Amino acid sequence: MMGRIQQLLPEVSNKIAAGEVVERPASVVKELLENALDARASRVAIALVDAGKTLIRVTDNGEGIHPQDLELALAAHATSKIRSAEDLFGVETNGFRGEALASIASVSRVRLVSKRAQDPHAGEVTSDGGKQGPSRACAAQDGTTIEVRDLFFNLPARRKWLKSDSTEFSHTLDLVQAIALANPEVALRLSHGERVAFDLPAQSQSERLMALYGDLFAEGMLELHEHETYAALDGFLAPPGTHRPNSRGLQLYVNRRPIRDRALMQAVMLAYREFLPPGRFPVAYLFLRVDPATVDVNVHPAKTEVRFLEQNRLFALIKSAITERLIGSGVLPRLSFARPAPAQGYGPQARPDSPFEPVGELTAAPPGQMFSAEALIGARAAEQRWAEARSVLAQVIESAPRAPAAVAAQEKTAPQPAPDSVSPGTEAARPAASPQGLLAQARGLFQVGQTYIVVETADAVVIIDQHAFHERILYYMLEHRLQSAPLERQRLLMPLPLNLSLAARELALSQREALVEFGFELEPFGPDGSLALTAAPRYSLARKHDEMIVELCEELAQGRRPGDFSTMRKSLVEMVACKAAIKAHDPLSPEQIRDLLRLGETVPHTFTCPHGRPTTYRLAFTDLEKVFHRR
Ligand code: ADP
Ligand code: MG
């Protein structure tokens, strides 16, 4: 399949992203491993001495090099992978620059041995700091071995710049793991001195993930498969609740090439946004496949950055596929006393204190129920706060045609209502809550500590923080209600003067438009430049409106992030949801608890509050058995 090596014409080589690729041992390993994969090897062994500073040896069983091409292989701009500038569009191999071996040879001592299956014997060529000897015949097995010794021996400054062996090795390990994950059908061995870091057989993608990143870690991973005409996205996602302090557990591949792409990473972060506490990063391995003709890999010499023709579509695909998968997972954080065994292998590991386990699907309820007066309007509760909280919902529901995301998620995941639950003639028939919903599983329900709702199911107790849970529901509803139109407002007969600090007044003025969305209108009042509330939401937002707006503005003014309107808007929704939600220590009747859970089933998910903190934990009876040594 791979043809002969040729030197690229200058007009072709001039079009190739130029630059140094040999930075450290890891970059040499990357180029050599990619060459082995391009040669269709099914087995590759990488051996390092002194983290590769003394020796890097890569042996493969691939197609090998034509005996007459051995010398050319080490020459600059010599490649068998492209011929013309047009070939640069639609590159399907890892390499195409014809530069790596030449660059490596110029800063080390190289020995290249190769044999094709059809040739009687192997050939060998050596180079010393770029000074190349003639090729000669030798004995070797089919495939290619390349040895790179004494990296940067002729560039003492560069050699001195290399980090400690353990740091250099960890760079190489990260890189080999990343490539190994995308090529599970290739057996791969990595050794460092006497130590074997891993020796992986050909295996499936998920087996490879487990082998590399540990059983514990892979166990709770959600698989993702989303295939569109223009792209296919497969991957493994850590469930909400497993997260890391940095983005090292986030890896994106494009046509098996590990890449760094800010925009697409942003799509992943956006999808996870509500599932993570602030400042934490998700763990996700995503494999994107696109037509090679729609991706330009000739952007950066190390080929870790690419450009997409379909950037926007890919962004949307990644964001929506991940969001839907996370919402549809129905995974609740597991409360467990047993300390899990440490993960095997190297690399990122799940936070050991938060293993996850699925509980029945918490899908959104069908739209009929969501807008039913019975479920949402008519405050049956005696408590004032409860009544007020309900009026927020009443307003939200009354003026919202449909909550788009709830409906979208519901259409994908919720089971169709059984025909007999739809009474003939009612167009907006109200099917019962999803049979797998928590409420349907409940055998017992009660409140503890006037703060938590405890639900007993067949195999677990589920513990819910009533405030965080309700906050999530309100947040969701407000957010989507606001997407369709501003909240309805009514002019006040008498403007209400607002007692605001200077900073809060500034902020209120600069955010007047945003506040109008929530139904608040502010106008200058009096000679000293102070403000008054002249219009307020038509419905109660659970507080006296003037007090609420003062509190909102003061809080925002204190924690203000400059110039970011979307952050501001999100904060507003969060704060309104928070203030309108039932509080800890609000007593709830069994009927109210049921109401709350029913409401929870009308939004796409309630795993986390809008700030990313969990709302719900599940304590499995099997874990209790372990604690009490019943097994
Ligand atoms: P590129 O990979 O960009 O073509 P390289 O400098 O990495 O450039 O390699 C030059 C050429 O040497 C390749 O095009 C390929 O034909 C040949 N080659 C390098 N490594 C191997 C290998 N492990 N097996 C077979 N051929 C190889
Ligand atoms: Mg190459």
Q: Which atom of ligand 1 lies nearest, measured to the CA of 99? A: 6
Contact 304, 252 (CB under 8 A): no
Residue with tokens 């009443």, as numbered in its chain: 394
Q: Domains in the chain, please, with CATH?
A: 10-200 (3.30.565.10), 207-327 (3.30.230.10), 373-479+582-627 (3.30.1540.20), 488-580 (3.30.1370.100)
Inter-residue contact 550 to 544 (CB < 8 Å): no
Closest listed ligand to the CA of 34: 2
CB 298 within 8 A of CB 210: no
Structure tokens at 151: 């990296």
Dist CA 540 CA 533 (whole Å): 15
Calpha distance 208→218 (Å, rounded): 10
Give me the mean pLDDT over the 517-543 stretch. 81
Query: Which pLDDT score is estimated for 215?
Result: 58
Q: In the prediction, which pLDDT does 217 show?
A: 63
Give the least confident one: 84-88, 256-260, 343-347, 394-398: 343-347
What whole-number distance in Å separates Cα of residue 590 and Cα of residue 118? 79
Q: Residue 532 forms beta bridges with which residues?
A: 497, 523
Does residue 96 have its Cβ closer than 6 Å to ligand 1?
A: yes
CB 286 within 8 A of CB 235: yes
Please compute the mean of the pLDDT values over residues 16-26 and round it to a whole number. Answer: 86
97: nearest Cα among 15, 189, 216, 25: 15
Task: Out of 149-158, 192-201, 548-557, pick the least confident.
Answer: 548-557
Query: Which of 1-5, 36-40, 405-409, 493-497 is predicted most confidently?
Result: 36-40
The predicted pLDDT at position 15 comes to 87
Q: Which of 44, 56, 50 is nearest to 189 (CA)?
A: 44
Which letter does DSSP use for residue 507 in this model? H
pLDDT score for 382: 29
How far apart, in whole angstroms, are the C-alpha atoms of residue 166 and residue 518? 55
278 vs 367, more confident: 278
* Ligand 1 contacts CB of residue 35 (under 6 A): yes
Distance 80 CA to ligand 1 centre (A): 7
Question: Ligand 1 mean position to 281 CA, how many Å?
Answer: 37
453 pLDDT more than 90: yes
Q: Average pLDDT, stretch 316-342? A: 72
- Tell which one of 33, 56, 60, 79 to mutate to probe ligand 1, the residue whose CB is within 8 A of the most ligand atoms: 79
pLDDT at 295: 92
Residue 382: strand, helix, or coil? coil
Tell whether the model's pLDDT for residue 384 goes beyond 50: no
Residue-wise pLDDT tens digits, 253-276: 999 999 999 999 999 998 888 777
pLDDT band, residue 280 (cuts 50/70/90): confident
Given a cut of 80, is residue 134 above it in pLDDT? yes
**Residue-wise pLDDT tens digits, 337-380:** 544 333 333 333 333 333 333 222 222 223 223 222 222 222 22
The pLDDT tens digits for 117-133 are: 999 999 999 999 999 99
For 227-260, the pLDDT digits (tens) are 999 999 999 998 776 788 888 889 999 999 999 9
Distances from the Cα of 179 to the Cαs of 183, 185, 209, 541, 593, in angstroms? Answer: 6, 12, 11, 53, 50
Tell me: the pLDDT tens digits for 169-222?
A: 999 999 999 999 999 999 999 999 999 999 999 999 989 998 988 755 655 788
Mean pLDDT, residues 532-537 taken together: 89
Instruction: Give the pLDDT confidence score for residue 483 in this predicted structure.
Output: 78
Q: Is residue 304 predicted with pLDDT exceeding 50?
A: yes
The yes-or-no verdict on residue 567 having pLDDT over 80 is no
Q: Categorize the per-residue pLDDT at 626 as very low, low, confident or very high, splitting at 50, 70 and 90.
A: confident
* Mean model confidence pLDDT for the chain: 80
What is the per-residue pLDDT for 337?
56
* Sole residue written with tokens 């792209």: 231
CB 499 within 8 A of CB 550: yes
| pLDDT tens column, 582-607 | 888 888 888 888 888 888 888 888 88
Residue nearest to atom 21 of ligand 1 (CA): 35
Check pocket membership of 5 for ligand 1, CB cut-off 6 A: yes
Rounded mean pLDDT of 418-447? Answer: 52
Whether the per-residue pLDDT at 481 is higher than 80: the answer is no
pLDDT for the residue 76: 93
Q: Which of 29, 35, 61, 107 to mutate to test the pocket of ligand 1 (most atoms within 8 A of CB)?
A: 35
Q: Indicate whether residue 80 lines ligand 1 (CB < 6 A).
A: yes
What's the 311 CA to ligand 2 centre distance in angstroms? 27
Is the confidence at residue 408, as pLDDT, over 70?
no
CA-wise closest residue to 307 among 247, 248, 257? 257
Element housing 26 (H / E): helix 25-38
Q: Specify the pTM.
A: 0.68
More confident residue, 496 or 345: 496
Cα(96) to centroid(ligand 2), Å:
7
Lowest mean pLDDT among 91-100, 346-355, 433-442, 534-543: 346-355
What is the pLDDT at residue 333? Answer: 64
Residue 27, ligand 1, Cβ within 6 A: no
Measured distance CA(211)–CA(16) in Å, rounded: 37
Please state, for a pLDDT cut of 70, what percent of the chain lies above it: 79
- Reported as type and span, the H/E element at residue 269 is helix 262-272
Of 40-44, 368-372, 487-491, 541-545, highest mean pLDDT: 40-44
How is residue 362 written in tokens? Answer: 């918490």
- pLDDT at residue 627 in the model: 78
For the ranges 148-157, 429-438, 451-460, the maximum mean pLDDT occurs at 148-157
What is the reported pLDDT for 231? 95
144 lines ligand 1 (CB under 6 A): yes
282 lines ligand 1 (CB under 6 A): no
Which phi and psi (to 5°) does residue 463 adopt? -115, 125
91: Cβ below 6 Å to ligand 1? no
d(CA 63, ligand 2 centre) in Å: 14
Out of 30, 32, 38, 61, give the residue to mutate to test ligand 1, the one with the largest number of ligand atoms within 8 Å of its CB: 38
Closest ligand 1 atom to the C-alpha of 64? 25
- The reply to whether ligand 1 has any atom less than 6 angstroms from the CB of 617 is no
Residue 6 has pLDDT above 60, yes or no: yes
Judged by DSSP in three states, 455 sits in strand
- 385 vs 516, higher pLDDT: 516
Q: Cα separation of 471 and 603, whole Å?
A: 12
Report the separation in Å between the CA atom of 379 and the middle of ligand 1, taken as the mean of its atom positions.
73
Query: Of 91, 82, 251, which is closest to residue 180 (Cα–Cα)?
Result: 251
Place of tokens 């106008």: 523
